[in-house]
Amino acid sequence: MWATNLKILGVVLGTLALYTLIANKIPQVQSEVPRALTLGADVTPEQLAQAGEQVFTGIGGCTTCHGLGTRAPNLLTDEKGQGPIGARCGKREPGKDCKAYLHEALTQPGAFVVPGYEPIMPDMTRTLSPQQIWAVIAYLESQGGTITVSASDVPASTTSTTSTTSGGGIAGGSSDPMAIVHAAGCVGCHKIGTEGAAVGPDLTHVGARLAAAGIREAILLPDAKVTKGFEKFAGIMPKTFGDQLSANQLEALVRFLAARK
């Protein structure tokens, strides 16, 4: 029986060793805790690009859509023979060099949408600090191109993981609902009248299906209830409007939308 016991032990240990070995032979990727970004005044382009890579693959959440599937253009690889993003970014929009184009793409994503894709890119100023945005631009430029971002582009402020807006709210504190709609980038995803895209639910007659409380909830907690038919876009709408809008602006926007019946 000892021989049988040893054989059983051999089978068990051999099987465990095989699985452990295979799991150790494949590429090892550890999920790191996102760190705050600290950029000094003497930061080099290479350091910026390095920091940008961390943001790109980490807190920025860029890989959620870029490079993994067909939701958005692949940025790190060739696309349609034009090379990675650093090689093609200067040719995207007439009159805009690479740096200006990438800055616009990150801060005003609705301004230019690459043909063939839906306008689902969120305004990254809501989740990233200006330093982080410039770091990402440097990283993207480094992908097949030359880094033109320098320390002088990066604002003086140093450490941050998320951006903040002025205390008066967005759109300079205006309580004009359409000014808020434009400044907050709502039309990047929602249609209101003749304006906007069809990524999120059409808000033209939103007051007919949602009461003021429901609209307020949808702005502050966008994932609390996902409109039927838009489940695949759940999680895309920023959850930061509660911090960005002043109380006056929020109520003005809610009243404006609730009246659209």
Partner 1 sequence: MIDAVHLLQAATDSLPAYRDFPVIGSRAAVWIAAEIHLMFAAFVLGVPMFAVVAEAIGIFGKDQRYDRLAKEFTRLLLIAYSATAIWGAVLTFLLATLYPKFFAYLTAIFGVSMWIYVSIFFFESFTLYLYYYGWDRWKYGRAKVGHWALGILLNVWGTLVMFIADSWLTYMMTPPRDVTPDTAPGSIKLWHAILNHTWMPINIHRLIGNVVFGGAIVGAYASYRFLASKTDEERAHYDWMGYVGNFIAISALIVLPFAGYWLGREIYQYDQSMGITMMGGFMSWLWVIQAFLIAVLFLTGNYYLWVGMGRIPGAERFRPYTKWLLAVLVLGAIVWGTPHTMIADSRELAAMGGSHHPFLGALGVMSAKNTAVNLMILTTFLSFLLYRRANIRPVVPWARTGTLIQGGMFGVAAAIVLFFGIRGYFVEAIVRIGYSVYQVGAVLACIIFVTVIDVLMARGAQSLGAIQWGKMPPRSQYALFILAVTFTWLMGLMGFARSGIRQHWHVWQVLQDTTKYAATPALGQAAIMISVCVLIFLSLVGFIFWLGGLAEKSTFVAAGKETEHVGH
Residues that bind partner 1 (CB under 8 A): 1, 4, 7-8, 11-13, 15-17, 19-20, 22-24, 26-34, 61, 63-64, 67-70, 74, 76-78, 84, 143, 221, 223-224, 226, 231-232, 234-236
* Residue corresponding to tokens 């793409």: 105
As measured in angstroms, the least distance from the Cβ of 7 to partner 1 is 7
CA distance 156 to 230: 40
Asked whether 99 and 92 are in contact (CB, 8 A), the reply is no
CA distance 127 to 57: 14
Nearest C-alpha neighbor of 240 from the set 164, 180, 152: 164
Q: Indicate the residue among 112 and 230 with the shorter CB distance to partner 1.
A: 230
As measured in angstroms, the least distance from the Cβ of 246 to partner 1 is 19
CA distance 55 to 35: 9
Q: Indicate the residue among 53 and 123 with the shorter CB distance to partner 1.
A: 53
Q: Indicate the residue among 193 and 242 with the shorter CB distance to partner 1.
A: 242
Asked whether 53 and 139 are in contact (CB, 8 A), the reply is yes
As measured in angstroms, the least distance from the Cβ of 129 to partner 1 is 19
3-class state of residue 95 by DSSP: coil
Q: Indicate the residue among 198 and 234 with the shorter CB distance to partner 1.
A: 234
As measured in angstroms, the least distance from the Cβ of 24 to partner 1 is 4
